[in-house]
């Protein structure tokens, strides 16, 4: 177990290094000159442009730019945002709890709705309840987040006046207000997750319910609740856990549209603004941080497998 963990952690470093090169290269492929966008309405002044390029090392060879950046990153220095002159490390640290809170709430909503619905529709396959759940899930997957978000704002904030339309209050400042500001975006994101989880839980449950061990369990005279809950669900959950961690990772990478609509200052907004403003240090920093989160989450998924399925522990 520990050996496995160590081995997996050892893989993290080369993964991140390769990724850092890729992010750096991809940014170079992006059209648009950062100096031009930074210069704003002064963009026509060659002196201003030359100065910006010199200051940001944009006039140096790419390899030198990359090495100087990665060297500082290895020392824990992600550099400064070109646009607002704040340290990228600080920006990431202030956005991380916001995105984490939103991701966690969305994920909980998604799991609470998705998994039970998946089980129900598998157990009552081809019955009206199955159709209804499938219909809702299809709706949930196909509905664009920004549309649902705006509709919720117009209904709950403008018409009813129950919730603040947008913005964010940190959990430690005012927990009640914080819940109020995040419940709508979390629901918008959660419905998407719920639909995906529901479809997969249903498929996995259908597979499990047709297995021999389920027939054996039933033949033994076990109650249906035990058969479904203990025998079938436990086995069906493994692919669902994989998917769940991927979904959680996606939520942590920042829900770009949803954050934009609800003006939530999270990862998604940070990286989108940075891309549009060609704020390379911020883009690089956020992508690296997101990659790290993904790698860590897949590690967590592996450990969850072992908890659910003891046979995997010996491997």
Partner 1 sequence: MIRRLLLAACAVVGLSVSVQAQVATGNLRIGLREDPDIMDPTLARTFVGRIVFASMCDKLFDINERLEIVPQLATGYVWEDPRTMLITLREGVRFHDGDLMDAESVRYSLNRHMTMQGSFRRGEINTIEAVEVVDPLKVRIRLTAPSAPFLSQLTDRAGMIVSPRAAESAGRNFGNHPVCAGPFRFVERVAQDRIVVERFPEYWNAAAIHVNRITYLPIPDSTVRLANLQSGALEMVQTIDPDDVPTVRRNTRLRTSISDELGYQSITFNIGNGVRGQTPLGRDPRVRAAFELAIDRDALNQVVYQGMFTPASQPLPPANPFFIRDFRNEPRNVERARALLREAGVTTPLRVELTVTNSPDLRQVGEVIQAMVREAGFDLRLNTMEFASSLQAAQRGDFEMYLLGWSGRVDPDGNSWSFMNTTGPQNDGRYSNPEVDRMLDAARIEPDADKRRTLYGQIWQLAIRQDRSRVYLWHRKNIVAHTARLTGFVNVPDGVIRPQGIRLQ
Binding residues for partner 1, rule: CB under 8 A, are 30-34, 36-48, 51-52, 55, 81, 83-86, 91, 94, 150, 153-154, 157-158, 161, 164-168, 260-263, 265, 269-270, 273, 276-278
At its nearest, how many Å lie between partner 1 and the CB of residue 103?
A: 17
Distance, in Å, from the CA atom of 190 to the CA atom of 284, rounded to the nearest integer, reads 28
Are the CB atoms for 245 and 298 separated by under 8 Å?
A: yes
State the nearest-atom distance from the C-beta of 59 to partner 1, in Å.
14
The distance of closest approach from Cβ of residue 94 to partner 1 in the complex, given in angstroms and rounded to an integer, is 7
Of 244 and 254, nearer to partner 1 (C-beta) is: 254
Nearer to partner 1, 111 or 148 (CB): 148
**Measured CA distances, 179 to 119, 171, 174 (Å):** 29, 8, 9
d(CA 304, CA 4): 14
Q: Rounded to whole angstroms, what are the CA distances from 83 to 39, 56, 88, 279, 288?
A: 10, 12, 11, 6, 19
Instruction: Using the minimum distance from each CB to partner 1, give the nearer residue, 46 or 221.
Output: 46
Q: How far apart are CA 91 and CA 211, in angstroms?
A: 50
Nearer to partner 1, 34 or 140 (CB): 34
User: What residues form DSSP beta bridges with 2?
Assistant: none
- State which residue, 217 or 274, has the beta carbon closest to partner 1: 274
We find the least distance from the C-beta atom of residue 181 to partner 1, in angstroms, to be: 10
> Helices in 210-266 by DSSP H: which ranges?
212-219, 224-226, 233-252, 256-261
CB of 262 to partner 1, least distance (A): 7
Q: Are 267 and 252 in contact (CB under 8 A)?
A: yes
Question: Which residue lies nearer to partner 1 by CB, 84 or 312?
Answer: 84
Q: How far is the CB of 234 from partner 1 (least distance, A)?
A: 43
């Amino acid at each position: 177990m520990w050996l496995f963990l160590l081995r997996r952690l050892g893989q993290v470093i080369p993964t991140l290094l390769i990724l850092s090169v890729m992010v750096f290269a991809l940014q170079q492929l992006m059209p648009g000159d950062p100096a031009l966008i930074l210069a704003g309405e002064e963009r026509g002044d060659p002196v201003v442009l030359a100065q910006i390029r010199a200051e940001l090392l944009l006039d140096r060879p790419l390899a030198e730019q990359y090495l100087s950046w990665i060297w500082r990153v290895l020392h824990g220095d992600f550099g400064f945002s070109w646009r607002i002159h704040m340290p990228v490390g600080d920006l990431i640290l202030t956005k991380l709890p916001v995105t984490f809170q939103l991701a966690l709430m969305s994920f909980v909503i998604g799991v609470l709705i998705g998994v039970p619905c998946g089980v129900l529709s598998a157990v009552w396959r081809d019955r009206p309840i199955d159709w209804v759940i499938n219909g809702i899930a299809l709706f949930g997957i196909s509905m664009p987040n920004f549309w649902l978000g705006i509709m919720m704002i117009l209904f709950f904030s403008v018409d009813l006046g129950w919730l603040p339309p947008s913005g964010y209050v940190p959990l430690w400042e005012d927990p009640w207000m914080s819940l109020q500001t995040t419940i709508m975006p979390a629901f918008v994101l959660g419905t998407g997750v719920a639909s995906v989880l529901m479809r997969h839980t249903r498929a996995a449950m259908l597979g499990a319910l047709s297995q021999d061990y389920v027939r054996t369990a039933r033949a033994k005279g076990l109650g249906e609740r035990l058969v479904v809950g203990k025998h079938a669900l436990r086995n069906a959950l493994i692919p669902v856990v994989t998917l769940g961690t991927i979904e959680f990772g996606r939520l942590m990478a920042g829900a770009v549209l949803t954050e934009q609509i609800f003006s939530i200052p999270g990862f998604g907004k940070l990286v989108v603004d940075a891309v549009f403003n060609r704020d390379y240090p911020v883009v690089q920093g956020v992508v690296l941080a997101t990659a790290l989160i993904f790698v860590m989450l897949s590690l967590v998924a592996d450990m969850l497998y072992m908890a659910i399925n003891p046979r995997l522990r010996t491997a």
